[in-house]
């Protein structure tokens, strides 16, 4: 990290720690520069613990860290994290990026639309009477994005969508009880087509469906779609070539929501809704690429994240989406931020000088008020709180009540306490921000998804780490494979004595 801009930020942080109560007492004096709107989203930072001077210092620091160069490399399809890395082509999924990658994505989109039409018009060619249920099997980035999309948009005119992620027999049995086996399409989403949990769930489903339908597993596989960057593995699994949808190798799983990973959206809501999602994400791509840093939604949010984590020292970020349709946002952002940037070394393998990604936690709406808000208001740690709002439906009293609660909590957390009794006195003011969606359309959802994707990428440029690997996850997965081989008598038992003890308890 560059010393002069960082030193300036440290000096500003000391001033803010002294002046927070008085600086936050009257937000009406805060600059309109801390309120930014773009692509159907509005970000209100006027109750944050910074001002225009802080933003200017953060922008200077971001320039020293190569933020502009990194953004340009992202959209040019160049290595984004140094000479040893490859491109990250997730913007090309919605038409933003180098021409070959955009053409590849358009070809994949056409294949999706062709397959969706075949499933609607001729389900019997897939061995089904109709397609009334779609079972999406995936985990991590192959699940969190599609689940967020379906939670947000709700049921469509197409099949009911079910998700299966964790390896859990009870969940599998509950799903099987909720579907018609003769009208159920299975979708296996795995970039590598080697994800242990996903393939185990898929095999269990195929066996169960074959038994219930009185068919062979090969016949059940006729009604199975794969989304992967390794089509040869899907073919070896038994899936027909025309039912394999392409996922580009240069798109990481947690950045793949605008790809065929979200085929469930196209089947449930149609091609128009899917293209609208892409259009909203594309608009945010252009905003991220073109807007000045001080008026750039993902950049401003990432600067706020860096300020709180690395300068003020807050180890957490609380996200409170005040609508049930946003229930999937928290796990989506948790994976984006913590798996992308929960690293201890920079892109050259050197130890980071300070911790990077914060712990992301939260809860939906008014439920959070009966759990998290007490700690946020009166605990001794000042954690930034991000309220995420969807406009109330006109005439809906429940939506109006929910919105009133959001605005009340956002206001009170940021204000100095007026209570005299110690047990009633809040520890505020707390740093808060409000992210408001214009509406509940697929376009706005696309912009929201791209906002968080670009924010995670911008964070990595500020911290200097690689946002597109996840080696910390791999060690445990490797050991799990060794345990499975040991159980099957194909490898020696683990050397860890406590691990061996628990394996004996759970044979």
Is the distance from CB of 308 to CB of 355 less than 8 angstroms?
no
Instruction: Indicate the burial class of 393 (C-beta count within 10 angstroms; 0-12, 13-18, 19 or more).
Output: exposed
The question of whether 477 is a catalytic residue gets the answer: yes
How many whole angstroms separate alpha carbon 196 and alpha carbon 311? 40
Instruction: Say what the pLDDT of residue 95 is.
Output: 96
Same CATH fold assignment for domains 3-64+291-463 and 90-276: yes
Mean pLDDT (whole number) for 106-110: 97
Q: Measured on CA atoms in the order 107, 111, 116, 120, is the torsion positive or negative?
A: positive
Quickly state the pLDDT bin for 380 (edges 50, 70, 90).
Answer: confident
Give me the residues paired with residue 226 across strands. Answer: 188, 244
Give the separation between CA 14 and CA 12, rounded to whole angstroms: 5
| 2: pLDDT strictly greater than 60 | no
SS3 content of the chain, % helix, strand, coil (to 5): 55, 10, 30
Percent of the chain with pLDDT over 90: 79
Q: Give the predicted TM-score (pTM) of the model.
A: 0.95
pLDDT at residue 427, rounded to an integer: 73
The one catalytic residue in 249, 290, 381, 477 is 477
**Rounded distance, CA 311 to CA 14, Å?**
10
> Which residue in the block uniquely carries the two structure tokens 């993902």?
298
Active-site residue identified among 121, 370, 419, 423: 370
Q: Enter the CATH code of domain 90-276.
A: 3.40.50.10490
Tokens 């490859």 label which residue?
A: 86
Portion of the chain with pLDDT greater than 70, in percent? 96
Query: Is 339 considered catalytic here?
Result: yes
C-alpha triplet 79, 83, 86: angle, nearest 5°: 35
pLDDT of residue 23: 55
Residue scoring higher pLDDT (417 or 475): 475
Average pLDDT over the chain, rounded to an integer: 93
Section 496-506 average pLDDT: 92
DSSP 8-state secondary structure symbol assigned to residue 351: B
Instruction: Note the pLDDT of residue 375.
Output: 92
Higher pLDDT, 477 or 122: 122
Q: How many CB atoms lie within 10 A of CB 20?
A: 17
pLDDT-wise least confident of 28-32, 327-331, 496-500: 28-32
Q: Any catalytic annotation for residue 160?
A: no
Q: What is the pLDDT of residue 302?
A: 98
Helix (H) or strand (E) holding 399: helix 397-414
- Per-residue pLDDT, averaged over 264-278, amounts to 98
What is the structure's pLDDT at 421? 86
**What confidence category does residue 27 fall into, taking pLDDT thresholds of 50, 70 and 90?**
low
State the average pLDDT over residues 345-363: 92
pLDDT at 84 over 70: no
pLDDT at residue number 213: 96
Q: Does pLDDT of 38 surpass 90?
A: yes
* pLDDT given at position 24: 55
Domain ranges of the chain: 3-64+291-463, 90-276, 472-505
Tell me what pLDDT residue 83 has.
47
> What per-residue confidence (pLDDT) applies to 108?
97
Q: What's the mean pLDDT in 427-431?
A: 83
Q: Which of 96, 160, 339, 386 is catalytic?
A: 339
The residues, any chain, with a CB within 8 Å of residue 278's CB and separated by 6 or more, are: 93, 94, 95, 109, 258, 446
Domain 3-64+291-463 has CATH 3.40.50.10490: yes
pLDDT in tens, 217-240: 999 999 999 999 999 999 999 999
Tell me the pLDDT tens digit for each residue of 273-288.
999 999 999 999 999 9
Residue 417 pLDDT exceeds 90 = no
> For 42-64, what is the mean pLDDT?
93
């Amino acid at each position: 990290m560059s010393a002069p801009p960082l030193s300036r930020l440290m000096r500003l942080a000391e001033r803010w720690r002294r002046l927070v109560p008085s600086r936050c007492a009257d937000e009406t004096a805060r600059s309109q520069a801390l309120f930014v709107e773009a692509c159907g989203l509005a970000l209100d930072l006027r109750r944050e613990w910074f001002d225009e001077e802080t933003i200017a210092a953060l922008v200077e620091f971001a320039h020293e860290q190569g933020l502009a160069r990194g953004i340009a490399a992202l959209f040019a399809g160049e290595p984004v994290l140094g000479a040893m890395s490859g491109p990250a082509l997730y913007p090309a999924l919605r038409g933003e990026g180098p021409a070959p990658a955009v053409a590849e994505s358009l070809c994949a989109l056409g294949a999706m639309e062709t397959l969706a039409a075949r499933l609607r018009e001729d389900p019997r060619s897939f061995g089904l009477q109709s397609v009334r249920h779609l079972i999406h099997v995936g985990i991590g980035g192959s699940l969190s994005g599609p689940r967020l999309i379906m939670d947000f948009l709700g049921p469509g005119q197409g099949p009911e969508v079910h998700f299966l992620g964790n390896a859990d027999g009870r969940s599998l049995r509950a799903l099987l009880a909720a579907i018609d086996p003769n009208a159920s399409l299975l979708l296996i989403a795995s970039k590598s087509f080697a994800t242990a949990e996903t393939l185990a769930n898929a095999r269990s489903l195929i066996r169960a469906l074959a038994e219930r339908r009185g068919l062979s597993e090969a016949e059940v596989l006729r009604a199975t779609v794969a989304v992967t960057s390794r089509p040869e593995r899907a073919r070896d699994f038994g899936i027909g070539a025309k039912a394999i949808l392409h996922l580009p190798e240069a798109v990481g799983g947690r950045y793949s929501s605008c790809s065929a990973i979200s085929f469930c959206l196209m089947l449930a809501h149609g091609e128009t809704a899917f293209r609208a999602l892409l259009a909203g994400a594309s608009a945010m791509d252009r905003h991220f690429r073109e807007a000045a840093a001080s008026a750039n939604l993902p950049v401003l949010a990432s600067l706020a994240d860096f300020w709180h984590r690395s300068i003020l020292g807050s180890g957490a970020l609380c996200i409170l989406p005040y609508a049930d349709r946003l229930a999937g946002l928290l796990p989506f952002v948790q994976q984006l931020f913590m798996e992308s940037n929960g690293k201890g070394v920079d892109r050259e393998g050197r130890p980071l000088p300070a911790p990077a990604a914060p712990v992301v936690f939260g809860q939906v709406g008014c439920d959070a008020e009966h759990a998290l808000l007490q700690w946020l208001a009166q605990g001794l740690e000042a954690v930034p709180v991000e309220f995420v709002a969807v406009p109330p439906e006109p005439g809906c009293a429940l939506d109006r009540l929910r919105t009133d609660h959001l605005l009340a909590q956002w206001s009170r957390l940021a204000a100095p306490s007026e209570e005299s009794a110690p047990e009633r006195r809040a520890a505020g003011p707390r740093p808060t921000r409000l992210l408001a969606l214009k509406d509940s359309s697929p376009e706005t959802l696309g912009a929201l998804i791209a906002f968080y994707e670009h924010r995670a990428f911008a964070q990595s440029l500020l911290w200097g780490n690689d946002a597109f690997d996840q080696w910390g996850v791999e060690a445990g997965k490797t050991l799990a494979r060794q345990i499975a081989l040991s159980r099957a008598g194909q490898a020696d038992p683990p050397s860890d004595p406590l691990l061996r003890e628990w394996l004996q308890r759970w044979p």
